[in-house]
Chain A
């Protein structure tokens, strides 16, 4: 009972300050809209999975929220309480990205890579933080090795360490499972499970089962528009699957 109350409080506290707010976010060039008037709110520490067919605007939405692409028109968005237009720098410091691309320099050692990103984020006592992270992702024994020689799983662990360097409040996962073999994806699963409660997550995924399993919230995009946005608790899986299939059939191929 006590635990239940505690959780409830947490949920309430979280809902006061949503980690991500999108209000009428659009992204277009000419008549074609990649993201079309998307609005949603995501509470802190939630895990949002975004589904949709290719070209539905999932990655574009993620890029808009991570300040890589500007919003077209009047809409606004904020991540971790900072506006994507006006407070981009503050926002970026609180955001980590794990993508299917490792975003690492293959010719540098693991240590040099993290050291570089630590400097970019101006992290105080970088050695300490890097030690911590190597410990956490269990790559301490390979820290002086060149990243080029790492396996996919190791590279993915490295890229998680890179994303976690600045202790971000929000983590974006852009199809992190694509191109991973089963073993590597298991490792990624366990890593994400470990940090699941610490950050707000947004994941773009093609894998419906994996996405739903992890998520607290789910969103389906089609042609840049939200088809469904709800808590996974309220979602009936089979119906959701049917809806997803319909949307994929609908989508721009």
Chain B
């Protein structure tokens, strides 16, 4: 017998959960904080802008060496190492959002790697779910970082796309993010091309951990092998010290973005969990509906079997008698 009330109560249970409430509160709070930071950045924050110099690597100034590929005529920067901003106003403003987004993308990637490790240890599908959603959130924030980063690059140095492409290739952080984007995309491509939930989860977790380990290498090695002048990055402004009027929106934005990021993550986890529960109930219901006439318990089957078996033995005996 199917009891619809069982299924209905199961369905009702799904819509309950603490996670969702927390996520919604965080989303609202994060949204407000980020908006406040945005307004502050464009109103109260003082314009703070330094021309600063970067140290040229010594081997580049030695005319006899040709190890780094860039020879002086290829170097786009003035030879004294002074970095000039094309649009200082915008490049300062974007910085408030670029840094928190970048920071969050790394945090989310780390979160994903932690749950990947937990999954490999416990084999609990819920850890895999968290790791996977972590990767999704990483994808969002990596894209955000790259977009805000290239906006910044554009404002800082160049005004044509052609020149910008050249800049993208030489900024270690941007290259690192391109590689990270490749990792996240590869992760989802891999999951799609593997059959079986457990295989998906295991391969995904292994690849996440490996990728997480590679990211610092790709950053360090991009710097190590860099052959053009190291370029000023928004974070370099931090070295010159921040005006309190600048620091406040920056900190507010970091908090706001973190809450938003965590809210996105939690919402997605809650959604996926519900989807999984729903899937189970759906399958159960389908089974119950389609097989309801056959849905006899093992005990019933066994009873039928033993009844038939007794009958069978009886016929055997009569055969023996006849023989």
- Residues on A lying within 8 angstroms of B by beta carbon are 29-32, 70, 72, 222, 225, 227-228, 235-240, 242-243, 246-247, 249-250
Least CB distance, B2 to chain A, in whole angstroms:
15
Q: Are B304 and A242 closer than 8 Å at their CB atoms?
A: yes
Per-residue CB proximity of B283-323 to A under 8 Å, as 1/0? 00000000100111010011011111101110000000000
- Residues on B lying within 8 angstroms of A by beta carbon are 123, 125, 197-198, 201, 276, 280, 291, 294-296, 298, 301-302, 304-309, 311-313
Given A72-B123, A243-B305: 14 more A-B contacts, CB < 8 Å: A29-B123, A30-B125, A31-B280, A225-B298, A236-B313, A238-B308, A239-B309, A243-B301, A243-B304, A246-B304, A247-B301, A250-B291, A250-B294, A250-B295
Q: Are B309 and A235 closer than 8 Å at their CB atoms?
A: yes
B301 proximity list for chain A (CB < 8 A): 227-228, 243, 246-247
- A72-B123 Cα distance, complex, nearest whole Å: 9
Listed A/B pairs (21) with beta-carbon separation below 8 Å: A29-B123, A29-B197, A30-B125, A30-B197, A31-B276, A31-B280, A225-B298, A227-B302, A228-B302, A228-B305, A236-B308, A236-B309, A236-B313, A238-B308, A238-B312, A239-B307, A240-B305, A243-B305, A243-B308, A246-B301, A246-B304
B291 proximity list for chain A (CB < 8 A): 250
- A227-B304 Cα distance, complex, nearest whole Å: 12
B276 proximity list for chain A (CB < 8 A): 30-31
A32 proximity list for chain B (CB < 8 A): 280
**Option from A222, A227, A236, A250 in Cβ contact (under 8 Å) with B312:** A236
Give chain B's interface secondary structure class: helix
Q: Are A239 and B197 closer than 8 Å at their CB atoms?
A: no
- A26-B36 Cα distance, complex, nearest whole Å: 53
Task: Rank and list the top 10 A-B pairs by shortest CB-CB distance, nearest first.
Answer: A239-B308, A236-B312, A236-B309, A30-B125, A239-B309, A29-B198, A243-B305, A31-B280, A239-B305, A29-B197
Least CB distance, B178 to chain A, in whole angstroms:
34
A238 proximity list for chain B (CB < 8 A): 308, 312
Q: Are B308 and A29 closer than 8 Å at their CB atoms?
A: no
